[in-house]
Amino acid sequence: MNAGSETLTTNDAPRAGRREWLGLGVLALACLVYAMDLTVLHLAVPTISAELRPSSAQLLWIIDIYGFLVAGSLITMGTLGDRLGRRKLLLIGAAAFSVISILAALSTSAAMLIASRALLGIAGATVAPSTLSLIFTMFRDPGQRGTAIGIWIAAFSTGGAVGPVLGGVLLERFWWGSVFLLAVPVMGLLLALGPHLLPEYRDPDAGRLDLVSAALSLVAVLAVVFGLKAIAQDGLGWRAAAFILGGLTIGFVFARRQLTLADPMLDLRLFRIPAFTVALVINLISVFVAFGYFLFVAQYLQLVLGLSPLHAGLWSVPSAAGFIVGSQLAPWIVRRVRPAVVIGVGLALAAIGLGVLTQVGSSGGLAALVTASLIISLGLAPVLTLTTDLIVGSATPARAGAAAGISETCAELGGALGIAILGSIGVGVYRRALDVGLPATIPPGMAAIARDTLGGAADVAGQLPAVPGAALLTVARDAFIRGMHVTAALSAVVALVGVILAATALRHLGPGGASPDVAGAAHLPEEVSVPGAY
C-alpha cells in the first residue's frame, strides 16, 4: 500500500505482494508466542512450587490469571486498535509483553509472578485482535485472505503444541524463569520489522473509547470464565453459579449500554447478519470440542501411559500438524465448495475422530489416541479458518478490530465451556466408577484424595504397598478412561449439532463465502477509504 488512502471496491480487491506475506510471517510469530504462553508454564509448575512456595490458591492463580486477563481484555483491545491504530497497539503490546516477560522470569515471590502473569495477559490481549484485523487490511483478495487466516490459525496451533516441548527442553538446562524469555526475541523481531512490513489502520471517524463499556466487558467476561473454571475444578456450586449469573447480568448491562452510545464499543447490528451469528456459534462449538477432548488427552498421555511431560508434548505434535495441514487446505477447498459443506464435513470428520477416541483403552492406546487427535485436528482446522473469516469479514473495515475481539472472546469462552462442562462430566463419571471398583483396603483419607482426580489417585498409589497401590492405580485409570469415553461421545454429538446448524443456516453461502447478507450488509461497502500506510 502507499501512503495516504486508496479506494477499494469489493469487485476489484488488490492482491497482496511480497511485503504483505513477509508481514504475515511476523504476525504469525507473535501469535505463536502468545499461544505458547498459555501452555509453556505447565511443565514449570513443580519447580515454581519448590522455589517460590506458593499456596494452592496462589498456584492456581499463577496458572490461570494469564488466560483470564486475555479473555477479559480481548473486546476492549480490538476496539482500541480500531481507534488508536492496529499496528500501533500491536507494537505497544509487543514492547510491554517483552518487558513483563523479563519481570516474570525474575520473579522472587508468588505474588510478583501472579502480577506479572496478569500484566502479560493484558499485553497478550493486543495480539490476537490486532493481528487478525491487520490481516483483513493487508489481504483484500478473498482467496489470499483465506490462506492468510489459515496461517494465522496454524500459528496458534503450533504455539500450543511446541510450548510444552520447548518448555521441557529449557527446564532440563535452565531455571524455571527461562520459559518466559522465549517471548523476548520474537517480540523484539516484531518491534524491529513491524513498522516496515505492517500497514497502519485506524477508523478516522472513531470516537473515544467508552471506559465504562470497557470495564463492563472486562468484568462480565472475567466473571463468566472464573465461574466456568470453578465448575471444572470443584463442580457446580453456589459460588460458581453466582459468578456466572453475575457475569451474564453485567454482560446484559454492557449490551444495553451499547444501544445508547453514538459510537458503541460493540456494534450489536453485526448480530443481525445471519452469517456472522451462525459462524460465531459454530466457532464456539469447535473450540468447545477441541479444548474439552484435549483436556483428557493430555492427562491420558501422562497419567495412564506414564509418559513424561516432554514426551507427552512430542506426541501432541501430530495433532498440531493436522491443524496446520487442515488450515492450509481450507482456503483452496472453500473456493470450490460451499462453506456449509466444508464446515459440515469438517465437523463430521471431528465427530469420527472423537468416535475413535472412545475406543482407546488403558494399554496400547497411543496409536489410536494419536490417530484420533489427528483426525479431529484435520476436521476442526478448516471449520475454525472459515468461521473466523466469516466473523471478521462480516464487519466493515473500521470495525474489523472489534469483530476480531468478539471472535477471540467467543473462542476463549468456548474453551472455558469445554473444560468446565466436559471436565465436570468426566470427573463425575470417574468418581462414580471409582466408587464401584475402589479396593476396600484403601484408608478413607487416601480414598477421598483418589476420588478427586486421577493425579491424586496416582500420588496415593505411590504411597501404598505395591499390591494395593497397583490395584488402586488400575481401577483409577479404568475409571478415567470411562470418563474420557463419555465426554468424547458427548463431544461428537455437539460436533454433529454443528453439522446440522451449518447445513441449515449457511446453505445460502456460495463458494468463497459470498452471500447477499454478507456481501451487502457486512463486507466492504461499495467504496471504502483505507487510511494509513507502511
Give dist(CA 62, CA 83) in Å, integer. 32
Which cell numbers in the block locate residue 94?
A: 509487543
Among 184, 205, 226, give the residue marking a domain's end. Answer: 205
Nearest 10 degrees: Cα torsion 61, 67, 72, 78: 150
Write down how long the chain is.
Answer: 534
* Residue 374 near residue 32, CB atoms below 8 Å: no
Band of the pLDDT at 46, cuts 50, 70, 90? low
Which cell numbers in the block locate residue 419?
A: 473444560
* Residue 397 near residue 200, CB atoms below 8 Å: no
Query: Would the pLDDT of 531 be above 60?
Result: no
**Domain identity same for 41 and 125:** yes
Q: Rg of the Cα trace of the chain?
A: 23
**Domain identity same for 84 and 127:** yes
Tens-place pLDDT, residues 143-164: 787 788 888 888 877 777 677 6
Nearest 10 degrees: Cα torsion 13, 14, 18, 21: -20
Average pLDDT, the chain: 78
Band of the pLDDT at 302, cuts 50, 70, 90? confident
User: What percent of the chain is predicted at pLDDT more than 90?
Assistant: 9
| Within-domain flag for 446 | no
* Terminal Cα-to-Cα distance of the chain (whole angstroms): 7
Which cell numbers in the block locate residue 8?
A: 477499494
Q: What are phi and psi of 8, to 5 degrees?
A: -120, 150
**HSE (side-chain half, CA atoms, 13 Å) at 370:** 13
| Within-domain flag for 412 | yes
Taking the CB of residue 72, how many other CB atoms lie within 10 A of it? 26
Tens-place pLDDT, residues 101-157: 999 889 888 889 889 988 988 888 888 778 878 887 888 777 787 788 888 888 877
Candidates 485, 445, 487; CA nearest to 464 is: 445
Give dist(CA 396, CA 412) in Å, integer. 23
| Within-domain flag for 451 | no
**Domain identity same for 248 and 156:** no
**Domain identity same for 107 and 243:** no
**Domain identity same for 275 and 315:** yes
* Residue 110 near residue 55, CB atoms below 8 Å: yes
* Residue 408 near residue 284, CB atoms below 8 Å: no
Q: Which pTM was predicted?
A: 0.75
Among 224, 245, 264, give the residue marking a domain's end. Answer: 264
**Domain identity same for 47 and 192:** yes
Burial of 149 (0-12, 13-18, 19+ CB in 10 A): buried
Decide which of 375 and 457 is more confident.
375
DSSP for 266-314, please give it.
S-GGGGGSHHHHHHHHHHHHHHHHHHHHHHHHHHIIIIIS---HHHHHH
* Residue 437 near residue 479, CB atoms below 8 Å: yes
Give dist(CA 465, CA 468) in Å, integer. 6
Q: Calculate mean pLDDT across residues 331-354.
A: 87
**Domain identity same for 107 and 230:** no
Tens-place pLDDT, residues 273-301: 888 888 889 988 988 888 777 778 877 88
Alpha helices in 110-178 (DSSP H): 110-124, 127-138, 142-173
Count up the domains in the chain and report the number: 3
Tens-place pLDDT, residues 494-526: 999 999 998 888 877 766 554 444 443 434 333
**Domain identity same for 323 and 227:** no
What pLDDT is stored for residue 390 in this prediction? 83
Give dist(CA 388, CA 266) in Å, integer. 17
| Within-domain flag for 73 | yes
Which cell numbers in the block locate residue 374?
A: 489427528
What pLDDT is stored for residue 360 in this prediction? 85
Q: Calculate mean pLDDT across residues 447-460.
A: 76
Decide which of 177 and 171 is more confident.
177
User: What percent of the chain is predicted at pLDDT more than 70?
Assistant: 85
Element holding 57 (H helix, E strand): helix 56-84
Query: Would the pLDDT of 166 be above 60?
Result: yes
What pLDDT is stored for residue 405 in this prediction? 72
Sign of the dihedral through C-alpha 522, 532, 13, 24: negative
Band of the pLDDT at 8, cuts 50, 70, 90? very low
Query: Would the pLDDT of 527 be above 50?
Result: no
| Within-domain flag for 463 | no
| Within-domain flag for 513 | yes
Segments forming the whole domain that contains residue 355: 270-417+491-524
| Within-domain flag for 456 | no
With cell 478448516, the residue in question is 382
What pLDDT is stored for residue 273 in this prediction? 80
**Domain identity same for 120 and 244:** no
Q: Calculate mean pLDDT across residues 439-448.
A: 76
Tens-place pLDDT, residues 413-431: 777 777 777 877 887 888 8
Give dist(CA 84, CA 264) in Å, integer. 15
Give dist(CA 230, CA 209) in Å, integer. 32
**Domain identity same for 183 and 38:** yes
351: domain CATH number is: 1.20.1250.20
Tens-place pLDDT, residues 216-240: 888 887 888 778 777 766 667 788 8
